């Protein structure tokens, strides 16, 4: 008798074969998906790497501009950088990395940098309303660079959209950077193996005076002090005539008090203090990381409202934990012609209408000991002082007078003191804070107290500044700043002032990625 096969056994085998087939398809699909996901992840990683290399290229370009030397070559740890001159205004740089810099998978990286108008700074200087300009001269104004296209005097370059008959805005140094990553394999047959990111950035000089009051340690405002801001490039403080009005005067809330003390209060507001602006200080080290500043509850005002309201809780949204206090090194030279200076008489220095400052030196200090001593500045000047700048002691009456068309940079190695409440002091007749800058390299405290309004800026990166009385239109940067009398009116136009006797550092005013093939900032061949 024959035994017939069971149909159940055949069904089990069929089910098993189907299951194996489905499992094989699933595993195959999973492996394919995993492979594709790995490739996509790897490509995303390498794309990010190209972006980082491009950003590194911008930093490399800015560092080269700050170094101010082209061409230059260096090698470090297998990484090589080379510069070469493309033409009179353009330099190019290339940074190559070791083949194993980015792992052992055969990925290579390279940075290409091109700087247009790299040499613009060799002839540039801040625009001066009292100067006469001829075609081809280069100036900085409002954070931009301009080339004179037609001779003029007191014709300010216009900010965007740059419609001016006297100035062209095409001279800004511009850094182009390309980060390039090459994946293993021939690029000629698979162009997708080459991943590129291209960035472009416009440069200008970094300013010393981005804050109203800046201290690498502590800013202290005593009771009765008020701080606000205005823009001298548009008019006088609190001006209500065109382009301003009674309802919208030339007065604002852009003053920043910046302190760098990270062990105690970096900004201290003691008593009845009014600040139309901001406070910028480090964070505390303990949990909560509160900003390191202090104020008197019930009387201190920190606001952006103009005019200042009655005392109210400070607006804590105007307190930043990111203080920025530029501290560029002063380069004091004692070159120049001897300054004609004698006690008891009036001396006149400088040449009206000059496009370049006359440089003087005072090798024995600049101290006013006779009440009739007057130093009149009649054109752009730089005065290099070995020693102290001392304008009397309460009953002197001595003065430094700056004519409306003149300007002065006064550099000193000792201390700056002005203690005169009888009409002496510093008389800046231009009422333009950009026309007067004091730069000190000494380490002893400086003092100011005068009935004459002070229009100017003070930079003493190694010493404290004690402001005991007098109205300030301008800004102060020092190790410590103590204000006992005021008010303080910060001039926002100082944000773009470059001081000749201080190291210049380039900063980025704007940057972006170049993506469109027809983008005017795309470098051909990149």
pLDDT tens per residue across span 299-329: 889 998 887 777 778 999 999 998 988 888 8
pLDDT of residue 9: 61
Dihedral angle over CA of 363, 367, 370, 376, nearest 10: 80
Beta bridge partners of 436: 408
Q: Let me know whether 273 and 124 are in one domain.
A: no
Of all residues in the chain, the percent with pLDDT exceeding 90 is: 50
Strand 337-338 with 358-362, pairing:
parallel
Q: Which residue has the higher pLDDT, 245 or 2?
A: 245
Instruction: Give the mean pLDDT of 343-352.
Output: 92
Question: Would 448 be classed as within a structural domain?
Answer: yes
Q: Does residue 350 or residue 13 have the better pLDDT? A: 350
Q: 206: pLDDT confidence band, cut at 50, 70 and 90?
A: confident
Kindly state whether residues 388 and 482 are assigned to the same domain: yes
Q: Which residues contact 424 (CB under 8 A, 6 or more apart)?
A: 368, 371, 391, 392, 396, 397, 398, 399, 450, 452
Residue 23 has a pLDDT of 80
For range 505-516, the mean pLDDT: 88
**Is the backbone peptide bond immediately before 243 cis, with ω within 30 degrees of 0?**
yes
Which DSSP string corresponds to 154-192? Answer: S-PPP-TT---SSEE-----EEEEEEEEE-SS-TTT-GG
Whether residue 132 lies inside any domain: the answer is yes
Residue 142 has pLDDT above 90, yes or no: no
In the chain the first and final C-alpha atoms are separated, in Å, by 87
pLDDT of amino acid 262: 92
With respect to residue 10, please indicate whether it lies within any of the assigned structural domains.
no
pLDDT band at 118 (very low <50, low <70, confident <90, very high): confident
CB distance 222 to 484 below 8 Å: yes
Q: Are residues 147 and 250 in the same domain?
A: no
β-strand partners of 114: 92, 176
**149 and 281 both lie in a single domain:** no
Alpha-carbon distance of 383 to 365, in angstroms, equals 11
Note whether residue 37 is domain-resident.
no
- Whether 250 and 161 map to the same domain: the answer is no
> Would you tell me how many other CB atoms lie within 10 Å of the CB of residue 215?
26
Mean of the per-residue pLDDT values for the chain? 87
Q: Which helix (H) or strand (E) holds 37?
A: helix 7-67
Question: Do both 227 and 163 map to the same domain?
Answer: no
In the chain, the number of structural domains is 2
336: enclosing H helix or E strand = none
State which residues form the domain around 134: 120-172
Q: What is the pLDDT of residue 465?
A: 97
Strands (E), 265-309: 267-269, 274-280, 293-295, 301-303
Whether 160 has a pLDDT exceeding 60, the answer reads: no
Instruction: For residue 287, give every residue at least 6 positions away whose Cβ sits within 8 Å of its Cβ, in sequence order, or none.
Output: none
More confident residue, 27 or 9: 27
| pLDDT band for position 41 (cuts 50, 70, 90) | low
Q: Which two tokens stand for residue 256?
A: 């920043």
Summarize pLDDT for 276-299 with one digit per residue, the tens: 999 999 999 888 789 999 999 988
Q: Whole-model pTM?
A: 0.74
* pLDDT surpassing 60 at residue 162: no
Instruction: Read off the pLDDT of residues 392-431 as tens digits, 9 standing for 90 and up.
Output: 765 567 899 999 999 999 999 999 999 887 778 899 999 9
Q: Would you say residue 64 lies in a domain?
A: no
Same domain, 298 and 424: yes
Instruction: Tell me whether residue 443 is in a domain.
Output: yes
Task: State the pLDDT confidence band at 335, using cuts at 50, 70 and 90.
Answer: confident
Q: Which tokens hold the place of 391?
A: 């304008």
Query: For residue 58, is pLDDT > 60?
Result: yes
pLDDT of residue 122: 60
Q: What's the DSSP call for residue 108?
A: E
- Name the region of 500 (left: φ>0; alpha: ψ -120 to 50; beta: rest): alpha
**356-384: average pLDDT:** 91
Average pLDDT of 43-51?
A: 86
Q: What is the pLDDT of residue 71?
A: 67
Using the predicted structure, report yes or no on whether residue 333 has a pLDDT greater than 90: no
Choice between 500 and 297, residue whose per-residue pLDDT is larger: 297
Instruction: Give me the pLDDT at residue 6, please.
Output: 60
Query: In this predicted structure, what is the pLDDT of residue 147?
Result: 82
- Is the same domain home to 395 and 492? yes
The answer to whether residues 225 and 296 belong to one domain is yes
- 166-180, 210-224, 333-347 — most confident range: 210-224
Q: Nearest CA to 201 among 296, 117, 105?
A: 117
pLDDT digits (tens, 9 = 90+) for 467-494: 999 999 999 999 999 999 989 999 999 9
- Does 104 score more than 80 pLDDT? no
Query: Does residue 259 surpass a pLDDT of 80?
Result: yes
Whether 180 contacts 111, CB under 8 Å: yes
Using left for φ > 0, alpha for ψ between -120 and 50, and beta otherwise, residue 79 falls in beta
Residue 168 sits in the same domain as residue 219: no
Euclidean distance between CA atoms 174 and 387, whole angstroms? 41
CA distances from 405 to 354, 397, 434 (A): 10, 23, 12
Confirm if 316 and 344 have CB atoms less than 8 A apart.
Answer: no
168 and 220 assigned to the same domain: no
pLDDT at 2: 63
Structural contact between residues 426 and 438, judged by C-beta atoms closer than 8 angstroms:
no
- The answer to whether position 243 is within a domain reads yes
In the structure encoding, which two tokens stand for residue 447, read together?
A: 């003092």
**What pLDDT is stored for residue 1 in this prediction?**
58
| Residue 512 belongs to some domain of the structure | no
3-state secondary structure 55-107: HHHHHHHHHHHHHCCCCCEEEECCEEEEEEECCCCEEEEEEECCCCCCCCCCC
Same domain, 244 and 379: yes
Residue 131's CATH number: 2.10.10.90
Q: Where are the strands (E) in 331-415, listed by range?
A: 337-338, 346-349, 358-362, 366-368, 374-377, 380-385, 389-394, 399-402, 407-412
Mean pLDDT, residues 147-154: 84
Contact between 409 and 442 under an 8 Å Cβ cutoff? The reply is no
């Amino acid at each position: 008798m024959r035994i017939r096969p069971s149909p159940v056994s055949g069904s089990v085998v069929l089910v098993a074969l189907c299951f194996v087939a489905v499992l094989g398809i699933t595993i195959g699909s999973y492996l394919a998906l995993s492979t594709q996901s790995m490739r996509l992840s790897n490509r995303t990683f390498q794309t990010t790497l190209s972006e980082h290399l491009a950003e590194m290229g911008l930093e490399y370009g800015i560092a080269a501009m700050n170094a101010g030397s082209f061409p230059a070559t260096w090698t470090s740890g297998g990484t090589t950088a080379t510069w070469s001159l493309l033409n009179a205004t353009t330099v190019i740089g290339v940074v190559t990395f070791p083949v194993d810099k980015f792992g052992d998978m055969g990925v290579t990286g390279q940075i290409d940098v091109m700087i247009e108008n790299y040499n613009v700074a060799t002839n540039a200087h801040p625009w001066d309303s009292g100067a006469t300009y001829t075609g081809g001269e280069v100036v900085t104004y409002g954070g931009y660079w301009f080339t004179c296209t037609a001779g003029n005097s007191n014709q300010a370059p216009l900010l965007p959209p740059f419609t001016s008959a006297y100035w062209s805005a095409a001279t800004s140094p511009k850094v182009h950077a390309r980060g390039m990553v090459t994946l293993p394999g021939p690029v000629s047959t698979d162009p997708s193996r080459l991943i590129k990111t291209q960035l472009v950035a416009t440069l200008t000089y970094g300013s010393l005076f981005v804050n109203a009051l800046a201290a690498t340690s502590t800013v202290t405002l005593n009771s009765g002090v008020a701080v606000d801001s205005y823009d001298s490039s548009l008019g006088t403080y609190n001006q209500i005539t065109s382009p301003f009005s009674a309802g919208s005067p030339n007065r604002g809330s852009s003053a920043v008090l910046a302190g760098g003390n990270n062990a105690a209060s970096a900004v201290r507001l003691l008593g009845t203090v009014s600040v139309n602006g901001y406070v910028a200080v480090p964070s505390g080290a303990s949990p909560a990381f509160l900003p390191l500043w202090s104020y008197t509850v019930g009387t201190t005002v920190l606001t952006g409202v103009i005019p200042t309201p009655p005392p109210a809780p400070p607006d804590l949204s105007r307190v930043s934990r990111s203080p920025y206090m530029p501290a560029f090194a002063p380069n004091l030279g004692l070159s120049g012609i001897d300054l004609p200076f004698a006690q008891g008489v009036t001396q006149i220095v400088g040449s009206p209408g000059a496009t370049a400052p006359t440089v003087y030196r005072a090798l024995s200090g600049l101290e006013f000991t006779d009440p009739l001593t007057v130093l009149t500045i009649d054109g752009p000047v730089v005065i290099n002082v070995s020693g102290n700048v001392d304008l009397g002691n309460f009953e002197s009456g001595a003065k430094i007078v700056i004519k409306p068309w003149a300007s002065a940079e006064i550099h000193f190695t000792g201390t700056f003191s002005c203690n005169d409440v009888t009409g002496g002091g510093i008389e800046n007749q231009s009422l333009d804070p950009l026309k007067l800058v004091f730069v000190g390299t000494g380490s002893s405290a400086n003092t100011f107290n005068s009935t004459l309004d002070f229009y100017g800026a003070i930079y003493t990166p190694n010493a404290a500044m004690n402001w005991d009385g007098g109205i300030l239109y301008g800004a102060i940067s020092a190790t410590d700043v103590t204000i006992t009398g005021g008010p303080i009116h910060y001039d926002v136009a100082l944000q773009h002032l470059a001081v000749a006797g201080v190291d210049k550092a380039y900063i980025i005013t704007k940057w972006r990625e170049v993506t469109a093939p027809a983008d005017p900032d795309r470098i051909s061949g990149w």
